[in-house]
Amino acid sequence: MKIKKGDIFVIGFLLIFSLAFSFIISKITSQNRGNILRIEQDSKIIKEVPLDKDQEFKISYGGHYNIVKIKDGKAYVSDADCQDQICTHMSPIHDVGETIICLPNRLFLEVYSSDGADSREDNIDKVIR
């Protein structure tokens, strides 16, 4: 079976259409800016800090650490001593429902809104052990 010029056109059109559609959906669903960062470790809330104030703090767990920074309304993990370093490579979070997770240090960061802007019924269900 040989691919024809029309087949390439259809495949290209569908690819561009699906990328544009996914971009539009992501922009529509992520319009809620959060203002509070919730920090959990071992399923316990250890801090809730506002995103409007630039700050940095160290979170320790079992001899290991994560350094969380809040700058320009966005939160991210700037440094950690875990082996995989996945948490340090994640994008800064600022919209309601966005998360950063460090599994080796059992750290869970989540952005939410204190004014109830997150009225979704499909909130994340999580279990950390």
Give the tens place of pLDDT for each residue, 16-43: 999 999 988 877 765 678 899 999 998 8
Q: What is the pLDDT of residue 24?
A: 87
Q: What is the pLDDT of residue 128?
A: 58
pLDDT-derived band at 1, boundaries 50, 70, 90: confident
Give the tens place of pLDDT for each residue, 55-104: 999 999 889 999 999 999 999 999 999 999 999 999 999 988 889 999 99
Q: What is the pLDDT of residue 34?
A: 85
* Contacts made by residues 41-45, CB under 8 angstroms, sequence distance 24+: 41/105, 41/106, 41/107, 41/108, 42/106, 42/128, 43/127, 43/128, 43/129
The sign of the torsion formed by the CA atoms of 76, 59, 128, 111 equals: negative
User: Where are the extended beta strands (E) located within 1-129?
Assistant: 36-41, 44-50, 55-61, 64-71, 74-80, 99-102, 107-112
The better pLDDT of the pair 15, 24 is held by 15
pTM: 0.68
Mean pLDDT in residue range 113-120? 63
Nearest CA to 107 out of 84, 121, 119 is that of: 84
Q: What is the pLDDT of residue 41?
A: 92
